[in-house]
Structure formats: C-alpha cells, structure tokens
C-alpha cells in the first residue's frame, strides 16, 4: 500500500490549494444560497475526479451532494458535510492564511479539510488501484451543524446499503480517530403559572420562575459525570415586568450521554417532570436528536482494520472519544460499522484559531484510501 502514500505526498500542493479554495466558499448552514454555491462547486470537483454526481434538493436547507465511484460489490460510505458555523463575510476579518505550517481559516478544520482529503484519497485509488477500487459513495450533507433535520433520511438510506461508514470529521488532537461520541440533544421547558400584582396581591399569583427553578434543580440531579452524562441548563427566561408575578418561564437544556441507556434514563425523567406548585404546569419538548456512538464490537473491529492499514503505510493510528456528536452517531446507532475522525489534523473547530496542519494532510488521505481499499476486499 505504500504507493498510496507516494501518490498522496506527490499531490500535497494540489490538496492544500483545494482546501484553501473550499474554505473560500463560505457556507453557513442557514444561508441556503451560500451552501448551494459551495455544494455546486464541490460537485463539479467530484465529477472532475471521476464521480457520478447528483444533488439532492432540500427546501429548508442547502442541497445535499452525492457522488459514486467504483463498481465493486462491497460499498463504503464516506460521510461529511458542506455547512459550517461561520456567517458569510467572516473571510474579511479571518482570511485563509498559511502560518507556521498551518492553514488557518473559517471551516478549514470542520470540515473543508476532510472534504479535500476524501477527494485526494479517491484520486489515489483511481490512480494506483483503478482495477480493484471498491464502490464508494460520498455523501456531503448541508445541515450537519444544526442537527441534520433534512439529511437524516438520506444518511440512513445510504448507510443502510453500506458495509461501513467512514466519517470525514476532524481528528482528535494528535490525529486520533473517534471510536465513540456522546449522544446529544436539547430539551425545552415551558412553565406556566398565573400573573398577579407583585405588591398588592402576590399571593394570588403562581410564580412560574420559582417553579422553573425547582424543575432545573430536578434536572441537575440527573447528571452522572462518571457515566458520561451531562445535563446543562443553557438558557432561562421568564416574566414580563418588575411588578408582576411571572406567569410564564422557559429554559433550554443541553443533554449529553455516552451510553444509550443513560440517554434513555434522562429522556424518561425529563418527560415525567411534573409541577410542584398548585396552579402551575410544566411542558417538556425536544430530546436526543443524535444517539450515542458507542464503541461497539463492529466499531472496534473497524478501528483495528484502520490500525492494520496504518502499520502497512507507516502511519501510527490511535483512537479516542469526544463529547460532540456528528452524523456518524446516526449511522452507528443503526448498527452500521462506523469510524469517525478521518478528516484533517488540526485544532480550533468553530473558533477563531481554526486550522489544519499542512504536513499531516497527505498521510490522512493515504490512510483513508488504504482503509477504503481494504474494506472493499474483505
């Protein structure tokens, strides 16, 4: 497999320029025209390297891009996303720039770098293993950063027909792959009470803010840090005026869990919240939108295959866990073997210092190509 490394190293300038170009195509999730411009450009690039490309229209998000390569019996899904968290215009104050061996810019790490790596991996397979290239589907969604509402069914359909899913999200620090991710979601609490004059007859009111505070304390007790479960109240509001007993209050609660049974426990408890004050009501909506990606036997086996491929390529492959979720959570929860973090090595996702390490890019592309090749011939 060393020929994959040789090819990818020879194309490092091409890859670096491609990532810079992709980062220049600003694509915030909620700006459909911007995401669609980026998707169209990526689709043209995928077609130039031999992909059979189609766009999947979406009314409430950018369009999703699907490209097919190879024609083997086994099928590998490369899963990524086009959208970023950075609004159009960010480049004016945060331009794409190379400094100290790193390429900085909005979206270079999460995840224009991963998209570029996948393209070089596919070029390497076509150049050095064209006759044995397995069937590869590239799925680049347009709404990952906001929960994949419009792309979930497409992700599930593509994964259902795949033997393995390789996720192009950034690597952990040092290049480690991701074999587990916390599930995540959001609960919304709406508490209603009764308004009254705060000075003349406060006893006739039902204070929604006080009821909300007691509900928040109940939610706080659901945390189990030792088992990787967090429950964090991130937003709270209530009331209308300084002299009125508040008749309504609400809170937004971030929930994370490493284990499926913990996600189920928190969900049941949240759904069963009941008001403690006479005259108050509690309404709970939302929940986990991405189940935990657990390190199952199939995930562990896929990781061991990646380690074996890495040894053949002269690349050290390690693993780790993260508290953030990705579309890999969706495919892993379906039972499809999933390995995450095969994108760029760097740091600063969603932050002003977002960057990729340039020298690490060719090896990441070679590792991805080698893993695809191995999976296609198991």
What is the 3-class SS of 234-288, one letter each residue?
Answer: EEEEECCCCCECCCEEEEEEEEEECCHHHHHHHHHHHHCCCCCCCCCEEEEEEEE
Predicted confidence (pLDDT) at residue 8 exceeds the cutoff of 90:
yes
Q: Alpha-carbon distance 322 to 340, whole Å?
A: 10
Name the residue among 30, 46, 47, 26 with its Cα closest to residue 38: 26
Q: Please check the confidence at residue 197 and state whether its pLDDT lies above 80.
A: yes
Decide if 2 contacts 364 (C-beta within 8 A). no
Q: Write out pLDDT tens, residues 348-358.
A: 999 999 999 99
Q: What is the pLDDT of residue 129?
A: 77
In this predicted structure, the answer to whether residue 294 has a pLDDT above a threshold of 90 is yes
Rounded CA separation 306/153 (Å) = 28
CATH fold of 2-182+292-375 reads Aminopeptidase (3.40.630)
Q: What span, in angstroms and rounded, lies between the C-alpha atoms of 192 and 373?
A: 58
How would residue 316 be classed by pLDDT, with cut points 50, 70 and 90? very high
Tell me, what's the pLDDT at 126?
94
Work out the average pLDDT over 194-200.
Answer: 97
- pLDDT tens readout for residues 328-348: 999 999 999 999 999 999 999
Per-residue pLDDT band at 249 (split at 50, 70, 90)? very high
Q: What is the pLDDT of residue 314?
A: 97
pLDDT of residue 128: 85
Task: Give how far Cα 92 sits from Cα of 24, 34, 43, 62, Å.
Answer: 11, 16, 25, 23
Alpha-carbon distance of 306 to 300, in angstroms, equals: 10
pLDDT digits (tens, 9 = 90+) for 171-192: 999 999 999 999 999 999 999 9
What would the two tokens of residue 266 be? 């928190």
Beta-strand relationship, 338-339 and 164-167: parallel
Q: What percent of the chain has pLDDT over 70?
A: 100
| Eight-state DSSP code of residue 101 | T
Q: What is the mean pLDDT of residues 307-327?
A: 97
Architecture category of domain 183-290 in CATH: 2-Layer Sandwich (3.30)
Model confidence over 24-71: pLDDT tens digits? Answer: 999 999 999 999 999 999 999 999 999 999 999 999 999 999 999 998
Confidence check: pLDDT of 250 > 80: yes
The β-bridge partners of 166 are: 78, 339
Domain ranges of the chain: 2-182+292-375, 183-290
Per-residue pLDDT at 1 = 83
- The Cα 191–Cα 247 span in angstroms is 8
Q: Say what the pLDDT of residue 154 is.
A: 98
Residue range 109-162, pLDDT digits in tens: 999 999 999 999 999 999 987 777 889 999 999 999 999 999 999 999 999 999
> Mean pLDDT in the chain?
97
């Amino acid at each position: 497999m060393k020929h994959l490394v040789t090819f990818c190293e020879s194309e490092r300038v091409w890859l670096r320029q491609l990532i810079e170009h992709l980062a220049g195509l600003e694509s915030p999730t909620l700006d459909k025209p911007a995401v669609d411009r980026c998707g169209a450009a990526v689709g043209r690039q995928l077609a130039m390297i031999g992909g059979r490309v189609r766009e999947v229209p979406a009314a409430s998000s950018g369009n999703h891009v699907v490209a097919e390569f190879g024609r083997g019996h086994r099928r590998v899904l490369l899963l990524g996303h086009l959208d970023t968290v950075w609004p159009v215009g960010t480049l004016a104050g945060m331009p794409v720039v190379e400094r100290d061996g790193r390429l900085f810019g909005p979206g270079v790490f999460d995840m224009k770098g991963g998209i570029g790596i996948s393209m070089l991996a596919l070029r390497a397979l076509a150049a050095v293993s064209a006759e044995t290239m397995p069937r590869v589907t590239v799925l680049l969604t347009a709404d990952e950063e906001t929960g994949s509402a419009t792309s979930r069914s497409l992700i599930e359909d593509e994964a259902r027909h795949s033997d393995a899913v390789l996720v192009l999200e950034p690597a952990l620090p040092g290049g480690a792959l991701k074999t587990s991710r916390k599930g995540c979601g959001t609960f919304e609490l709406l508490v209603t009470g009764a308004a009254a004059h705060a000075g003349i007859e406060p006893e006739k009111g039902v204070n929604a803010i006080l009821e909300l505070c007691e509900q928040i304390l109940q939610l706080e007790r659901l945390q189990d840090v030792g088992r990787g479960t967090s429950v964090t109240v991130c937003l709270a509001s209530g009331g209308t005026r300084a002299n009125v007993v508040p008749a309504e209050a609400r809170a937004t609660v971030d929930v994370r869990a490493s284990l499926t049974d913990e996600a189920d426990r928190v969900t049941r408890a949240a759904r069963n919240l009941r008001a403690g004050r006479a005259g108050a009501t509690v309404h709970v909506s939302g929940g986990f939108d991405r189940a935990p990606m657990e390190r199952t036997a199939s995930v562990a086996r896929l990781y061991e295959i990646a380690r074996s491929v890495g040894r053949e390529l002269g690349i050290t492959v390690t693993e780790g866990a993260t508290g953030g979720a990705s579309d890999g959570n969706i495919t892993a929860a379906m039972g499809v073997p999933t390995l995450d973090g095969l994108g760029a090595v760097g740091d600063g996702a969603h932050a002003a210092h977002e960057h990729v390490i340039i020298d690490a890019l060719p090896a990441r592309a070679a590792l991805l190509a080698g893993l695809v090749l191995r999976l296609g011939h198991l």
